[in-house]
Amino acid sequence: MTVHLLRLAVGAESLDDVRRFQAARIASLRQQTGEDLLQTYTRNVPRRAEELIDGGSIYWVIKSLIRVRQRVLGVDRITDKEGRDRCALALDPNLVLVEPRPQKAFQGWRYLRPEDAPPDVGRGGDSSADLPDDLAAELRDLGLI
């Protein structure tokens, strides 16, 4: 059975920030390895890694809203420069917009069941994806979208 991860996009104020951060990460890894890779790192390896790579995604929380997801392509144990064990999650660089959904802050990551995941925009999602983040949030708070 597929499972997803829910993770905060720390430092990101908008979807454009996530795009910029990830483009910089791809460029850095390209310089180091010569390959076009996108990885994000965590301290702990998900125990349900097999379920995660079986069609799972990371759903990114930006400014208290689940806004976008990326498919997880692989889960690897690595050792960082300081000699600490880490987990590298290989991600599809394609960002898929999802119906914005409020999410309280948390540390690390959380599992997200497929039935609890917000739908992709365009598949039952709302039409606020093209609005600026602040405007969409205000309209949502007012119950207009």
Q: Which residue has the tokens 């400014």?
A: 63
Reference 63, options 2, 136, 119; nearest CA is 136
The series of mean pLDDT values per 10 residues for the chain, 145 residues long, is: 94 92 90 85 92 95 94 92 90 93 92 95 60 69 62
Between CA 9 and CA 61 the distance in angstroms is 6
Q: What is the pLDDT of residue 17?
A: 93
Confirm if 125 and 108 have CB atoms less than 8 A apart: no
Q: What is the pLDDT of residue 29?
A: 82
Q: What is the pLDDT of residue 81?
A: 85
Q: What is the pLDDT of residue 66?
A: 95
Q: What is the pLDDT of residue 125?
A: 46
